[in-house]
């Protein structure tokens, strides 16, 4: 309840004191502070020492002491009375609305002594209360009259609320003050008629209130009036509820109230509004905080859901199966590949379901190792799973990792499976390769040993062969020599006999001796050729290098074979290149080769021509001497073979051409010694061309 308006304690001129009281009364919005201000003022400015203000309660016309000075509580109570049909001196004052002097003997309260009762009211309206003040004389002091004149209208204005307010000293007042929530009765515009202490704290400012409090109260009243006039329509009882934001005038804090207002009819027939304000500031804050938490929760949930989707997509994009389990081993999530192995197929047969169950059991026992495995953060194992679709065994490596929370507690287990089929196949193949390679190595070792043995044998055989060949060459050289000596003697004596040294020979004798001579010469030729080969092989045919001219050499060769040429019907010619330089080589060996080639040409050509050509190839600094015939030619199958020892195209006993089959073999060996070679071009039935190529300047081997 607001405290009485403080008035100056020092003496003030009447005008100033009156002005101060008038301002206080104007500022009053309740009857009690108004009454207290007046009583206080009277006591101070009339030296009365005692003053009281009584008002008439609205119902029952009971007089109540609203404010008093210089009286005890019991004295105040004694002043209050119930109307009992009239006769009470104060009732008469009220009824006549005029001040009255009471001598001490008839005073309403003996303690007052002589006193005045001054009615309070407004012109034309019944007095609502009265002032009691001791009298020093029978004339009413002007200050008291002035106060009553000012206070009367104010009290009349405030008293509809003031009368109930006055009940505050009574039971009703104590009841509504005991209510924890602000409770007030207002007119329909929100002007308070009755307010309990808590409501007054919000909506009433005493005359002595600070500027801040006054503003806060003003604001609250405006907000309250607006809220009361507006808002949702009430229920059947007309009760309306709405939220009203008010300010705590004492501390300036924002408060939120639920305003529950119910219209009621006052006994005077006016409609008034009973309002209860329930402080829901904490509830509002709690609701706001709850809403905020809820929003945060939703945002977190959205984030978690999108994170979960992202995680799902990531996991599904991984080709290897992945399972997320809870700490007790229950499956929380599977990616696509894992579902194929561990999720029961909706349309799969019994076999597929059995395989899936078997996979799940295998995985569970694997996971139990990790869960029971103490502090180990990871567990790795080789599992054998079954493909639910085909039943094929899938060897996998499973790696399970614990997922720990902020405080190290186990929140989940992530298991990744890696198919080891390919790796195992590779390992198997590698093993097989190793096995085969070691077998191969063993075989190679055996073969190498055998080869080494064979090599050793061959080496020994080569040595033996070399020795045998050397022995053979030596033997042949010796034997040739041994053959040639008696053969030369035979040929000599045969020739002498044919010359007629032993007398004239008969034609048969001559024919036989000629045969002996012919065969002897053939034998000598064979022996010479064998001797040549053995000498070449034995390295006993050295090069004798000299400078000589090709034309002269060819001339000599043709001259030596002239008898044979003459006997044949062939046109033999020599064609020399434009600029044939002199050569530095073994003249005897060149001559022997050309002689042999020309002999063969004459032997295997029956008609046509034989031409000997010689030219110098500047680019290679070599000479080429060709013997070209129009003879029988050589089958391609024999063109290489005829250069080997004892090889002839026709080697039958009935062959048409004589010879040893050693001539070309010797030619090739001699050409090689000169640093050259012998080539052949031949067409059977058309002729052959043998060519000796050799460097212009031979090099000593």
Residue 186 binds ligand ADP (CB under 6 A)? no
Q: How far is the CB of 669 from ligand ADP (least distance, A)?
A: 12
Nearest to 46 by CA among 70, 66, 64, 63: 70
Q: How far is the CB of 572 from ligand ADP (least distance, A)?
A: 13
Residue 533 binds ligand ADP (CB under 6 A)? no
**What are the distances in angstroms from CA 559 to CA 409, 569, 575?**
121, 16, 15
Residue 691 binds ligand ADP (CB under 6 A)? no
Instruction: Point out which span in 489-497, 505-513, 515-523, 631-639 binds ligand ADP (CB under 6 A).
Output: 631-639
Q: How far is the CB of 438 from ligand ADP (least distance, A)?
A: 56
Residue 113 binds ligand ADP (CB under 6 A)? no
Tokens of residue 572, six digits: 């033999």
Tokens of residue 197, six digits: 């202490």
Q: What is the Cα–Cα distance from 93 to 130, expressed in whole angstroms?
A: 8
Q: How far is the CB of 523 from ligand ADP (least distance, A)?
A: 13
Q: How far is the CB of 616 from ligand ADP (least distance, A)?
A: 24
Nearest to 481 by CA among 520, 528, 521: 528
Residue 331 binds ligand ADP (CB under 6 A)? no
Residue 595 binds ligand ADP (CB under 6 A)? no
When CB distances to ligand ADP are compared, the closest residue is 659
Q: What is the Cα–Cα distance from 634 to 397, expressed in whole angstroms?
A: 78
Residue among 255, 649, 673, 674 that touches ligand ADP (CB under 6 A) = 649
Tokens of residue 494, six digits: 């045969």
Element housing 397 (H / E)? strand 393-404
3-state secondary structure 71-84: CCHHHHHHHCECCC
Maximum Cα interatomic distance, the chain, rounded to a whole number of Å: 234
Q: How far is the CB of 452 from ligand ADP (least distance, A)?
A: 41
- Cβ neighbourhood burial of 367 (10 Å; 0-12, 13-18, 19+): buried
Those residues whose C-beta lies under 8 Å from the C-beta of residue 161, and which sit 6 or more positions away, are 30, 31, 185, 192, 193, 194, 195
Sheet containing strand 331-334, strands side by side: 331-334, 322-325, 410-419, 393-404, 378-386
- Cβ neighbourhood burial of 300 (10 Å; 0-12, 13-18, 19+): exposed
> Residue 234 or residue 608: which is nearer to ligand ADP going by CB?
608
Q: What is the Cα–Cα distance from 231 to 238, expressed in whole angstroms?
A: 12
Angle at the Cα of 516 from the Cα atoms of 511 and 522, rounded to 5 degrees: 125
Q: How far is the CB of 682 from ligand ADP (least distance, A)?
A: 7
Angle at the Cα of 426 from the Cα atoms of 422 and 432, rounded to 5 degrees: 145
Q: How far is the CB of 668 from ligand ADP (least distance, A)?
A: 9
Residue 670 binds ligand ADP (CB under 6 A)? no
Q: What is the Cα–Cα distance from 643 to 648, expressed in whole angstroms?
A: 9
Residue among 24, 275, 600, 691 that touches ligand ADP (CB under 6 A) = 600
Instruction: Point out which span in 18-26, 305-313, 535-543, 657-665 binds ligand ADP (CB under 6 A).
Output: 657-665
Residue 663 binds ligand ADP (CB under 6 A)? yes
Residue 612 binds ligand ADP (CB under 6 A)? no
What are residue 246's DSSP bridge partners?
255
DSSP for 141-191, please give it: PHHHHHHHHHHHHHHHHHHHHHHHHHGGGSHHHHHHHH-SS-EEEE-TTS-
> Residue 362 or residue 626: which is nearer to ligand ADP going by CB?
626
Q: How far is the CB of 516 from ligand ADP (least distance, A)?
A: 21
Instruction: Point out which span in 328-336, 468-476, 513-521, 647-655 binds ligand ADP (CB under 6 A).
Output: 647-655
Residue among 121, 190, 631, 676 that touches ligand ADP (CB under 6 A) = 631
Instruction: Point out which span in 69-77, 239-247, 420-428, 663-671 binds ligand ADP (CB under 6 A).
Output: 663-671
> Residue 170 or residue 684: which is nearer to ligand ADP going by CB?
684
Total chain residues near ligand ADP (CB under 6 A): 20
Q: Which of residues 230-269 bind ligand ADP (CB under 6 A)?
A: none
Residue 661 binds ligand ADP (CB under 6 A)? yes
Residue 604 binds ligand ADP (CB under 6 A)? yes
Q: How far is the CB of 568 from ligand ADP (least distance, A)?
A: 13
Residue among 67, 256, 632, 670 that touches ligand ADP (CB under 6 A) = 632
Q: What does the radius of gyration of the chain's CA atoms come to, in whole angstroms?
A: 77
Residue 532 binds ligand ADP (CB under 6 A)? no
Q: How many beta carbons lie within 10 A of that of residue 511, not counting itself?
A: 10
Q: How far is the CB of 517 from ligand ADP (least distance, A)?
A: 19
Are the beta carbons of 583 and 693 closer than 8 angstroms? no
Are the beta carbons of 220 and 244 closer than 8 angstroms? no
DSSP for 84-145, please give it: -SS--HHHHHHHHTS-EEE-GGG-SSGGG-SEEEEEE--TTS---EEEEEE-SSSSPPHHHH
Residue 608 binds ligand ADP (CB under 6 A)? no
> Residue 478 or residue 681: which is nearer to ligand ADP going by CB?
681
Element housing 354 (H / E)? helix 350-371
Q: What is the Cα–Cα distance from 79 to 90, expressed in whole angstroms?
A: 10
Residue 601 binds ligand ADP (CB under 6 A)? yes
Residue among 688, 691, 693, 698 that touches ligand ADP (CB under 6 A) = 688
Instruction: Point out which span in 221-229, 325-333, 410-418, 661-669 binds ligand ADP (CB under 6 A).
Output: 661-669
Number of residues assigned to the chain: 701
One character per residue 544-583, x = contact with ligand ADP (rule: CB under 6 A) = ----------------------------------------
Q: How far is the CB of 556 from ligand ADP (least distance, A)?
A: 20
Residue among 25, 388, 629, 630 that touches ligand ADP (CB under 6 A) = 629
Residue 625 binds ligand ADP (CB under 6 A)? no
Residue 281 binds ligand ADP (CB under 6 A)? no
Residue 639 binds ligand ADP (CB under 6 A)? no
**DSSP secondary structure letter of residue 382:** E
> Residue 231 or residue 661: which is nearer to ligand ADP going by CB?
661
Residue among 660, 675, 679, 697 that touches ligand ADP (CB under 6 A) = 660
Helix (H, G, I), strand (E, B) or coil at 258: strand
Instruction: Point out which span in 47-55, 110-118, 306-314, 630-638 binds ligand ADP (CB under 6 A).
Output: 630-638
Interface residues toward ligand ADP, by CB under 6 A = 600-601, 604, 629, 631-632, 634, 642, 648-650, 657, 659-665, 688
């Amino acid at each position: 309840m607001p405290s009485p308006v403080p008035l100056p304690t020092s003496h003030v001129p009447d005008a100033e004191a009156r002005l101060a009281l008038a301002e206080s009364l104007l500022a009053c919005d309740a009857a009690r502070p108004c009454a207290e201000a007046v009583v206080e003022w009277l006591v101070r400015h009339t030296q009365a020492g005692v003053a009281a203000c009584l008002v008439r309660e609205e119902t029952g016309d009971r007089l109540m002491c609203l404010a008093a000075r210089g009286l005890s509580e019991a004295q105040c109570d004694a002043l209050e009375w119930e109307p009992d049909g009239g006769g009470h001196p104060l009732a008469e004052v009220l009824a006549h609305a005029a001040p009255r002097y009471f001598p001490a003997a008839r005073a309403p309260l003996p303690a007052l002594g002589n006193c005045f009762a001054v009615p309070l009211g407004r012109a034309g309206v019944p007095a609502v209360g009265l002032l009691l003040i001791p009298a020093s004389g029978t004339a009413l002091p002007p200050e008291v009259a002035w106060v009553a004149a000012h206070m009367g209208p104010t009290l009349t204005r405030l008293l509809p609320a003031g009368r109930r307010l006055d009940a505050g000293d009574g039971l009703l007042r104590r009841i509504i003050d005991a209510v924890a929530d602000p409770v007030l009765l207002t007119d329909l515009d929100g002007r308070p008629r009755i307010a309990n202490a808590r409501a007054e704290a919000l909506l009433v400012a005493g005359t002595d209130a600070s500027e801040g409090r006054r503003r806060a109260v003003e604001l609250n009243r405006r907000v309250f009036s607006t809220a009361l006039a507006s808002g949702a329509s009430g229920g059947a009882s007309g009760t309306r509820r709405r939220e009203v934001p008010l300010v705590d005038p004492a501390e300036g804090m924002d408060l939120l109230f639920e305003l529950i207002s119910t219209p009621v009819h006052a006994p005077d027939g006016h409609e008034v509004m009973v309002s209860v304000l329930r402080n829901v500031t904490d509830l509002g804050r709690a609701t706001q905080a709850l809403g905020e938490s809820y929003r945060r929760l939703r945002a977190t949930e959205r984030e978690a859901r999108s994170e979960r989707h992202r995680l799902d997509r990531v996991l599904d994009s991984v080709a290897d199966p992945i399972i997320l389990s809870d700490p007790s081993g229950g499956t929380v999530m599977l990616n696509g590949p894992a579902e194929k192995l561990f999720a029961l197929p909706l349309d799969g047969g019994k076999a597929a379901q059995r395989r899936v169950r078997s996979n799940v059991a295998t995985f569970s026992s694997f996971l139990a190792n990790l869960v029971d495995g103490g502090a180990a953060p990871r567990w790795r194992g080789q599992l054998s799973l079954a493909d639910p679709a085909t039943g094929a065994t899938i060897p996998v490596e499973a790696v399970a990792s614990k997922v720990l929370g902020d405080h190290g507690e186990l929140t989940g287990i992530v298991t990744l499976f890696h198919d080891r089929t390919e790796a195992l196949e590779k390992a198997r193949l590698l093993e097989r390769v190793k096995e085969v390679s070691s077998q191969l190595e063993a075989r190679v070792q055996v073969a190498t040993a055998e080869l080494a043995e064979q090599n050793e044998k061959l080496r020994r055989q080569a040595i033996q062969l070399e020795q045998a060949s050397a022995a053979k060459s030596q033997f042949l050289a010796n034997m040739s020599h041994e053959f040639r000596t008696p053969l030369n003697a035979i040929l000599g004596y045969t020739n002498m006999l044919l010359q007629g040294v032993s007398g004239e020979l008969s034609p048969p004798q001559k024919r036989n001796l000629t045969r002996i001579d012919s065969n002897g010469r053939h034998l000598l030729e064979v022996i010479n050729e064998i001797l040549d080969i053995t000498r070449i092989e034995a390295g006993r045919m050295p090069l004798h290098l000299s400078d000589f001219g090709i034309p002269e050499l060819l001339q000599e060769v043709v001259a030596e074979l002239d008898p044979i040429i003459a006997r044949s019907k062939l046109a033999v010619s020599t064609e020399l290149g434009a600029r044939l330089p002199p050569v530095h080589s073994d003249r005897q060996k060149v001559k022997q080769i050309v002689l042999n080639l020309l002999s063969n040409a004459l032997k295997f050509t029956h008609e046509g021509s034989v031409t000997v050509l010689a030219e110098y190839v500047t680019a290679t600094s070599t000479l080429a001497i060709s013997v070209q015939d129009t003879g029988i030619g050589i089958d391609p199958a024999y063109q290489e073979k005829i250069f080997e020892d004892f090889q002839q195209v026709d080697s039958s006993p009935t062959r048409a051409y004589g010879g040893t089959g050693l001539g070309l073999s010797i030619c090739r060996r001699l050409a090689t010694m000169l640093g050259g070679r012998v080539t052949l071009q031949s067409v059977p039935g058309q002729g052959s061309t043998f060519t000796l190529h050799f460097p212009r300047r031979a090099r000593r081997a």
